[in-house]
Each structure stands twice: as structure tokens, then as C-alpha cells.
């Protein structure tokens, strides 16, 4: 049974392999740490922006899986650096020799699986942000006025902070505020005829105005903030309703948040790809180093050449051995050689 992908490793290549693995392992640990930071930052952003995402949006799964993948990569890099350094000293290698096989199995199956899953999520889930933000921001605009309703009392503050921080207005633009009642009925005068007329003219009994909250105003505008009568070209001197960008934020919050979160997901996906590449190289190198040292009794500078490999035999032979178990080395009754009959003694010669 020939080993899979064998590689001859004389003394100098063995030493260079161990030294190169030490460097690659530290790079893997660094990449795992950066992946942890990127996924942690994305998770914190989702905690702050979770109000504006639909509950059914699966995007929040990405940073959680990436956190686990980054932690496994960091651990693999640290253990790989210790193992490769210890392999250069015959006295230090035996304790690491016992850890290496479980590490290779766990990192390949668990860490590799987590990285592949996280990479797949980083490629697939950003597309779900569009629908999730569309639904979440729509609900946030509707509940802007509900400052005294349990469960929505912070909606106004959060949406105002969002529009000021990300310099956006409405869901897709400032006119989105024209279609929702964003002023609480508590602050409307029921004796005001204009208020009564507006409510009665709406099928749903909402108080709709062509105005926006103060957080839509651009503080860099040279003129005071204009919040009301934005559709009336004669309501404000020298104000053109067709060009409100000089006074209001021109971008909708949907586009601002979509670009922000997709940018974070893209950065995290790049780090996951780099981490996956480094982890694959480290695990392959550790496997070749392990099998090469097994042939020398764990001594890297032992005399003679040795061979590193991925598996001791082909896949077909391995499956056959596992299937047969302990009986693989015992011949079946049919295959057993026939017992020789005891020699018969002939008549003694006189």
C-alpha cells in the first residue's frame, strides 16, 4: 500500500520546512486575530443597527460563524508555531508529538469547515441585506412617532442618530417622510383646522405633511434648516424644491447602510480567504513534518532520509482496512494454508 502524495525530505529540507512552518503559523495566528477583530466589529455594528434590519434577515449569522473560525485559526497558528519550533529540538518535541495528531484532525475538520462555511456566508448573505434593510427601515419610519409606545419608545432617538451619523434621510430619500406620520398625535392641536383637514383627507386618518425631522438637515448648509412645506416652491425664498440637496442629506439611509455593511462584509470575506489559505498551508506542512519525523523516531536531524506523506495508504486501501477492522491481518479460513498431515512412520527396516 503506497502512501498518498509522498515527498522525500532529507535533513536540510526538513529543517527548512520546520522553520518555514514557524513563520507561516505566526502569520496564521495574525490572520486569525484580524479575522476576530473584523467579525467582532461587524457584530457590534449589527447590535447598533439591529433596529433597522428585519428580524428574519440572516445576515447576523455571518459574524458569529466568522468569530468561531477566527478563534480556531488563531489557536491553530499558535499551536503550529510551538510544534514547528519544538520539532527542531529532540528534547522538546515529544510533548508536542502527542498533541499534533488531534490538532490536525480538529483543525482540518472543525476549523476548515468553519472557514468554508464563513466564506460561503460572506459571499451569499450580503444579498439579503437589501430586503432586510428595506423592511426594517420602513418599520422604523412608521414607529418614529411612537415615543410613548412600549417597545418603540427609542425608535425616534435611534433613527435621528442614524440619519445624523450616516448623513442620510428617509429610506431612499427625504420624500419618504411625506408618506408616514412622523409627528405624534400628542403634539397635534385637535382645534387647529389645518390639522383636522389633513387627518380627514387621509384614508387611514394619518397626519401627513411635506416635512422632515431635524436630523435630515445638513449642518453644512449655509442657510437655516428648512423642514416643512418642502413641496411648495413659494414657501421659502431662494429655495428650489427640485434641488433640496443643499439643505437636506441627499442620500437615503437604505443606500448608506447597505454600502456600510456590505463593505464590512467584503473586508471580512477577504480576511477569511487569506486565513483559509494560510491554514491550509500550515496544516499540510505540519502533516508532512509529522510523518517525516515519525520515520526518524521524532528526531529531525536523525541520520538517513525519510519520507513525508498525507496518508499512509490510498483511500481504497484505507477504507478496506477500516471495514475489515482487526480481521484485516488474519487470513480467512478459506485462505488459510492447509495443515500438513503428520508424517507417517514407515516399517522399520531390518
Q: Which three cell numbers stand for residue 249?
A: 442629506
Percent of the chain having pLDDT more than 70?
Answer: 74
Helix (H/G/I), strand (E/B), else coil: 307: strand
Helix (H/G/I), strand (E/B), else coil: 187: helix
- C-alpha dihedral over 306, 311, 316, 320, to 10 degrees? 100
Handedness of CA 36, 62, 43, 256 (dihedral sign): positive
- pLDDT-wise least confident of 85-94, 104-113, 171-180: 85-94
Q: Around Cβ 221, how many Cβ atoms within 10 Å?
A: 13
Q: Which three cell numbers stand for residue 156?
A: 425616534
Tens of pLDDT along 4-37?
A: 666 566 567 777 888 888 999 999 999 999 999 9
The C-alpha atoms of residue 218 and residue 148 are separated, in whole angstroms, by: 28
Decide which of 50 and 337 is more confident.
Answer: 50
The angle formed by the CA atoms of residues 224, 227 and 230, to the nearest 5 degrees, is: 110
Instruction: Say yes or no to pLDDT of 49 above 60.
Output: yes
Instruction: Say yes or no to pLDDT of 264 above 90.
Output: yes
The angle formed by the CA atoms of residues 44, 49 and 52, to the nearest 5 degrees, is: 155
Instruction: Say yes or no to pLDDT of 206 above 60.
Output: yes
Decide which of 2 and 19 is more confident.
Answer: 19
Give burial (CB, 10 Å; 0-12/13-18/19+) of 179.
middle
Counting Cα atoms < 13 Å in the Cβ hemisphere of 217 gives 13
Decide which of 332 and 293 is more confident.
Answer: 293
pLDDT recorded at residue 192? 84
The C-alpha atoms of residue 313 and residue 135 are separated, in whole angstroms, by: 55
Tens of pLDDT along 278-330?
A: 998 988 888 877 777 776 555 555 555 665 666 566 555 544 544 544 444 44
Burial pattern 72-86, b for ≥16 Cβ within 10 A else e, equals: bbbbbbebbbbbbbb
The number of helix segments (H) and strand segments (E) in the chain equals 9, 2
Instruction: Say yes or no to pLDDT of 121 above 80.
Output: yes
Helix (H/G/I), strand (E/B), else coil: 284: helix
- Cα 317 to Cα 50, 311, 322, distances in angstroms: 53, 11, 9
pLDDT recorded at residue 189? 82
Tens of pLDDT along 142-177?
A: 999 988 888 888 889 999 999 999 999 999 999 999
The angle formed by the CA atoms of residues 82, 85 and 91, to the nearest 5 degrees, is: 100
- Cα 185 to Cα 61, 66, 207, 282, 316, distances in angstroms: 39, 45, 8, 64, 76
Amino acid at each position: 500500500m503506497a502512501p498518498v502524495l509522498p515527498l522525500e525530505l532529507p535533513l536540510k529540507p526538513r529543517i527548512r520546512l520546520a522553520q518555514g512552518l514557524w513563520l507561516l503559523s505566526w502569520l496564521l495566528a495574525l490572520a486569525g486575530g484580524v479575522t476576530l477583530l473584523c467579525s467582532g466589529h461587524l457584530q457590534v455594528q449589527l447590535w447598533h443597527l439591529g433596529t433597522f434590519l428585519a428580524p428574519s434577515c440572516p445576515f447576523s449569522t455571518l459574524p458569529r460563524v466568522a468569530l468561531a473560525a477566527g478563534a480556531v485559526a488563531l489557536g491553530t497558528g499558535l499551536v503550529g508555531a510551538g510544534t514547528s519550533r519544538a520539532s527542531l529540538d529532540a528534547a522538546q518535541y515529544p510533548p508536542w508529538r502527542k498533541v499534533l495528531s488531534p490538532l490536525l484532525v480538529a483543525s482540518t475538520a472543525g476549523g476548515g469547515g468553519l472557514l468554508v462555511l464563513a466564506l460561503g456566508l460572506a459571499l451569499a448573505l450580503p444579498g439579503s441585506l437589501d430586503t432586510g434593510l428595506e423592511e426594517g427601515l420602513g418599520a422604523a419610519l412608521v414607529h418614529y412617532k411612537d415615543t410613548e409606545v412600549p417597545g418603540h419608545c427609542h425608535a425616534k432617538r435611534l433613527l435621528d442618530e442614524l440619519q445624523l451619523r450616516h448623513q442620510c434621510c428617509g429610506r431612499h430619500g427625504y420624500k419618504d417622510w411625506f408618506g408616514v406620520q412622523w409627528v405624534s398625535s400628542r403634539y397635534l392641536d385637535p382645534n387647529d383646522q389645518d390639522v383636522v383637514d389633513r387627518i380627514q383627507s387621509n384614508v387611514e386618518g394619518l397626519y401627513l405633511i411635506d416635512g422632515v425631522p431635524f436630523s435630515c438637515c445638513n449642518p453644512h448648509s449655509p442657510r437655516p434648516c428648512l423642514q416643512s412645506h418642502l413641496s411648495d416652491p413659494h414657501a421659502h425664498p431662494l429655495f428650489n424644491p427640485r434641488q433640496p440637496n443643499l439643505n437636506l442629506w441627499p442620500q437615503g439611509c437604505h443606500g448608506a447602510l447597505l454600502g456600510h455593511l456590505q463593505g464590512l462584509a467584503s473586508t471580512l470575506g477577504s480576511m477569511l480567504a487569506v486565513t483559509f489559505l494560510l491554514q491550509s498551508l500550515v496544516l499540510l506542512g505540519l502533516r508532512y513534518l509529522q510523518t517525516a519525523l515519525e520515520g526518524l523516531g521524532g528526531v529531525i536531524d536523525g541520520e538517513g532520509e525519510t519520507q513525508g506523506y498525507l496518508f499512509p495508504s490510498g483511500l481504497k486501501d484505507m477504507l478496506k482496512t477500516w471495514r475489515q477492522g482487526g480481521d484485516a491481518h488474519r487470513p480467512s479460513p478459506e485462505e488459510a494454508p492447509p495443515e500438513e498431515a503428520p508424517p507417517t512412520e514407515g516399517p522399520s527396516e531390518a
